[in-house]
Structures are given as structure tokens and as C-alpha cells.
Structure 1
Amino acid sequence: MNLSHLTYFKKLAEVKHYTKAAAELYIAQPTLSVAISSLEKELGTPLFERKNNQILLTPCGKQFYHYVCIALQNIERGITAVHEYAGMINGQINLGTLYAMQGKYWSEAIRAFHEEYGAPIQINITQGFTPSLTRDLKADKLDVVFAGQTEPDPDLISVPCWAQELAVAVNKDHPLASKKEISLDELEGYHILTYKKSSIVAAELMEVLGSRKYDIEFAYNDEITLSSLVTSNKDDVSLLCYSFLVKAFDEVVFIPVKEAPKDFHKVYLLSKKQGEKSQLLRDFITFMSSYHFPTAKVPVR
């Protein structure tokens, strides 16, 4: 059975038109017709029938189409596997990540994977926020991402890998700055700055706050902005996720929140359930899924 004929059959079954299928295959229509006739002769049964100016699969054709798709997909997988094993292609991963994830342990994990994999590989890194990273993953612009997640997505595989502690950020001259730990009830009466309501963190924060009513300004994208605002205004208070990004703010004191779990904001390794994955990508996902990323906790003062 000719492999090209199977490819032609699959295309005609999907396009349902000889002329259009031949054009997409870059072959002459008679060539396509001969290929289909040859398949039908070999199988001893018609695979297509004409209905209302369309070329439709017969019941036997539908059965055959199912297995042809599997066969062609497996052949493609085999070719990819052989190329990777033989070193015919340099592996490449398009990785998306949150800014806050790229601290010491993230860098060590990337280096450890390079060392374990051995073969030359290229990891292209895209930074962003969860919505854009998830969107690009689904659009196949990224292969795998480190991002947040509000609820399970049926199209994605998610593995929890890292977390950030919730912190109150205040200027070092603020009345709350001497606190080693703080209760949310102690924030009553203060103007509080935090993330935009459209963000995943804001939704998680609302759960922790419960029915409490505070003067909260949901307006900002990230903890760097929130920390800089607290630096410039000694009266303001900020609720943010702690990470290495805020360590540069010497004028700001970070205080853990009693009511919030230590793993307040979880970050996941996200990949698509459907679609082909190279051996390199599968190895990367397996490696990072089992790697230990310590939670970003507020340092003890």
C-alpha cells in the first residue's frame, strides 16, 4: 500500500472535493483520482460516494479513515523520534514564564535540565502574565508555561510547582512596620493597594478577605509597582505576593499574613493535552514537574 496514496485519501476525506484536495496536495487531479481508485481496488470496496456535489466517505471509508489517521500520525512520530535520537535536529523549547518565577531556583532548574539532557538544546523564554501566557500556549506560540490558574482548564495539563506567600508591604516608617506577623483585622482603617480585579491574585485575595470590608484599591499589575508606591507614600499599605522581585526595595517592610496559607498563590507548569510533543518537550515537562521549587516566603525578621 502506497504511503502517498494514504495521504491523498486523508486529504480528500477532509476536503470532500477532488479539485480542492489536489490543489492542496500540489498534485494533478488525475493523479489523485488514480490513487483513490488504486486504494479502492486494493481494498476491494468503494471508499467514497458522490452526494449533492460532494465527495463523501462510505461506511467502509469512514472506518478506513480512522485507522489511516492513526497510522500517519504514528509514522510522523517515528520520524521525529529517529531524528531526535540521531541528533539530526537541535532541540528547541518555547517556554513562557511569570516574571516572579525567574529567581534563583528557577535558574538552577533550567541549568540542571541542560546538564541532564546533555544534547544541544535551545530554550526560548517569553515573560508575561498568566492571561497572555495561557493564550499563547493554546495558540501554539508557546510549548509549555509557568503560570497561575483560577480553575482547571479541560484543554490543559496543570502540575503545581511553586507558590508565593501573601505579604503586607509597608514603608519602614509606617506604624505597622514593627510587626513580625499581621492579622487582616489590623488593616482596618488603612488605604490598601493591590492587584487589578481582573487578575488571578485578586480573586485569591478576595477568598482570604471573606466578608471583611476594607478601603482597597484594586488597580495594579505587579508587586514591583505596589512596592514602589509604598516606598513613595508612607501612609499606604499593600497586599502582594512575595518574591525575589521586591528584595530591591530597602525602604519597604514585608510582613506575612496570619490568615493566608503559606502557598497563597500557586504557580503551575501548564501544557496542552492535545497535539504532538517532541521527546525533548516531554522530558522537560517530566523534569520540571518533579523539580523542587521552594515556596517564596517572607524572610523572618
Structure 2
Amino acid sequence: MNFSHLTYFKKLAEVKHFTKAASELYVSQPTLSAAISSLEKELNTRLFYRANNKIELTPCGEEFYDYVSRGLRIIEQGVQAVEEYEGKINGTLNLGTLYAIQSKDWSQAIQSFQDECGAGLTINITQGFTPSLFEGLESGRLDVIFAGKPQTSNKYNCTYCWAQELAVAVNKRHPLAKKSVVTLDDLAGFHIISYHEDSPVYDEMEALLQQAECELDVEYAYNDEITLSSLVNSDTNDVALLCYSFLVKAFDDVVYLPLQDAPREFHKVYLISNKAITQPRVVSDFVTYMKNYHFPTATVRPLQKE
């Protein structure tokens, strides 16, 4: 089985378009088509089918893709291991990250590591939400991710990096907007929106709100800080509870207040890798570097009084 053909198959399975795949592989479309036909002939099955001017993997193709991805990844790790043994820092670090944590400090940390390693290292950054990032870890497509610790973390290596502060987000015209700090009791009587139950933040949020002496009206339904902020940006009645990050500063009509009852390090961000996958040295070097890097916790600042 031709190594190049496997590489071509993997690329086509990911972009699902012959012309685009051929362009990214720097080969002609006939060359790509011939490689896929050769694979299908050797396996005696179809790997792709056409649907609405696109191509999709057949069930056999999906199964084959999982094995090819893992196999190519292992070969890549072997090449990196040999290069590292020879003292070279070459290869690729496939890094996943949540949208909300890509602050200036985060970017500086990534660049600092890149500068230390030199031009031989390529860092591919994938942005996404928590479920897709963990899917990337499981498949081997991602080496390591920045995310919250999963509820079942026994199959992952989790290294603490920094924390996010909890913020109470309200519209500028909301009754709470002029406060400098909010307590759980202050939230009584308001409709509260926050993260859905599958979010890594949910358990922390629920445990905190259960400390309230009064009953709170909480809707756990949303994915991220942007959605929560946009809702209170247009609604003068709701209250959002969210992790404070640089992303929320884009909303001029939203005020972010600290919650007195919440710990300052409310939601911890970890660097996470898959225990089941042997990682090249560059991954462990990256984890060690980030573990020792100083990431400041963003401070929630209330509306300045005029």
C-alpha cells in the first residue's frame, strides 16, 4: 500500500473536495483520482460517494479514515522521535484551544515557546468548543488542548495553567448595573442564564448557586460567553453568569460585575493530552513550558461611576 496514497486519502476525507484536496497536496486532480481508485481497488470497496456536488466517506471509508489517521500520526511521531534523538527540534505541534481563552497573554505564551524552539517547529492551532476539541484528542488529530477539566478525567493528562473569574453580566440599564459587586442574594427575582449542562463549567456553577439562601431562577442552556453576552446586550432584564474573558469586552452595552460569593479562580483552564497516545517530546516540552508560564487572571471590572 502506497504511503502517498494514504496521505492523499486522509486529505480528501478531511476537505471532501477533489480540487481543493489536490491543490493543498500540490498534485494534479488526475493524480489524486488515480490514487484513490488504486486504494479502492486494493481494498475492494468504495471509500467515497458523491452527494450534492460534494463527496462523502462511505461507512468503510469512515472506518478506514480512523486507522489511516492514527497510522500516519504514529509514523510522524516516529520521525520526530528520531529527529529529537539527533538533537533537532523539528516537527508539528497540533494544538486545540477554546475561543474564549485566546487572549494577548495566551498569544504571547505560544509565541514565546515558538521562539524558544526555533523555525524547525510548526504549531497548528485549531479553535473550537469543548466537544470538538476532545474529539480531536481522541482521534489523535490534536496533541494537546487548552480546555476545562472534563467530568471524567482519568484518561487524560491534565496540567493546570490559569483560571477565569466568574462575572455577572447585565445590560447597562439593568438595576444591578450600578453596583460595584454582586452577591447571590442580589440575584433573587431575576431570570439567570448560564452554561448548558454538558459544559465543563456547569458543575462548578451549579455548586456555587446552590449556596444561595434563596431560590434562584436559572436557565442552563448556552454554549459560550459570546452568546450569553449578546443576550443581555439586547435584554435589559436577564442576568448572565459567565467566565470572564477578553471576548466579552466587545459588548458596549453590557456591564460585568464580580460575584462576591465566587472564588476568584472560579473556572480552571488546563492543558490536556490523551494518556492512550504516545506523544513526541515537543508535546511534553510544551506542557512543561506552559505549566511554568505566568498567566494572570483577568479581573472583572464594574462600570466606572461618572
Shift of 1:86: 4.8
Shift of 1:131: 2.6
Q: Distance in 2 between the 1:286 and 1:204 partners?
A: 27
Match of 2:194? Answer: 194
For the pair 1:282 / 2:281, whether they are aligned, the reply is no
- The amino acid that maps onto 1:136 is G
- The amino acid that maps onto 1:109 is A
Give the structure-1-normalised TM-score.
Answer: 0.70
Match of 1:264? Answer: 266
CA contact (8 A) 2:89 2:121 kept: no
Structure 2: gaps (5+ residues): 1-75
Q: Distance in 2 between the 1:89 and 1:118 partners?
A: 8
- The amino acid that maps onto 2:285 is D
Shift of 1:135: 2.6
Q: Which has the larger radius of gyration?
A: 1
Q: Distance in 2 between the 1:79 and 1:189 partners?
A: 61
For the pair 1:124 / 2:115, whether they are aligned, the reply is no
CA contact (8 A) 1:254 1:298 kept: yes
Q: Deviations over 1:236-265 (max 9, x none)?
A: 111111100100111110000011001111
CA contact (8 A) 1:130 1:149 kept: no
Shift of 1:106: 0.6
Q: Deviations over 1:177-207 (max 9, x none)?
A: 1111110111100111111122121221100
- The amino acid that maps onto 2:236 is K
Match of 1:63? Answer: none
For the pair 1:203 / 2:203, whether they are aligned, the reply is yes
Q: Say if 1:283 and 1:176 are closer, same or farther in 2 by CA, change over 3 A.
A: same
Q: Distance in 2 between the 1:174 and 1:96 partners?
A: 37
Matches within 5 A, 1:85-100: 86=86, 90-100=90-100
CA contact (8 A) 2:83 2:90 kept: no
Matches within 5 A, 1:209-248: 209-210=209-210, 212=212, 213-248=215-250
Q: Say if 1:152 and 1:290 are closer, same or farther in 2 by CA, change over 3 A.
A: farther
Match of 1:175? Answer: 175
Q: Deviations over 1:33-81 (max 9, x none)?
A: xxxxxxxxxxxxxxxxxxxxxxxxxxxxxxxxxxxxxxxxxxx988744
Shift of 1:228: 0.9
Match of 1:51? Answer: none
1:240 is paired with a residue of what secondary structure? strand
Structure 1: gaps (5+ residues): 1-75
For the pair 1:134 / 2:140, whether they are aligned, the reply is no
Match of 1:156? Answer: 156
2:198 is paired with a residue of what secondary structure? coil
Q: Distance in 2 between the 1:277 and 1:192 partners?
A: 42
Q: Distance in 2 between the 1:98 and 1:257 partners?
A: 23
Q: Deviations over 1:191-236 (max 9, x none)?
A: 1111112212122110001154212121111111111111111111
Instruction: Identify which range, 272-281 or 256-265, moves more after superposition.
Output: 272-281
CA contact (8 A) 1:156 1:272 kept: yes
Q: Distance in 1 between the 2:198 and 2:151 partners?
A: 14
Q: Distance in 2 between the 1:173 and 1:280 partners?
A: 50
Shift of 1:296: 2.3
Q: Distance in 2 between the 1:88 and 1:235 partners?
A: 58
Match of 1:291? Answer: 293
Q: Distance in 2 between the 1:99 and 1:273 partners?
A: 24
Q: Say if 1:78 and 1:209 are closer, same or farther in 2 by CA, change over 3 A.
A: closer
Q: Say if 1:152 and 1:295 are closer, same or farther in 2 by CA, change over 3 A.
A: farther
Q: Say if 1:172 and 1:77 are closer, same or farther in 2 by CA, change over 3 A.
A: closer
- The amino acid that maps onto 2:292 is S
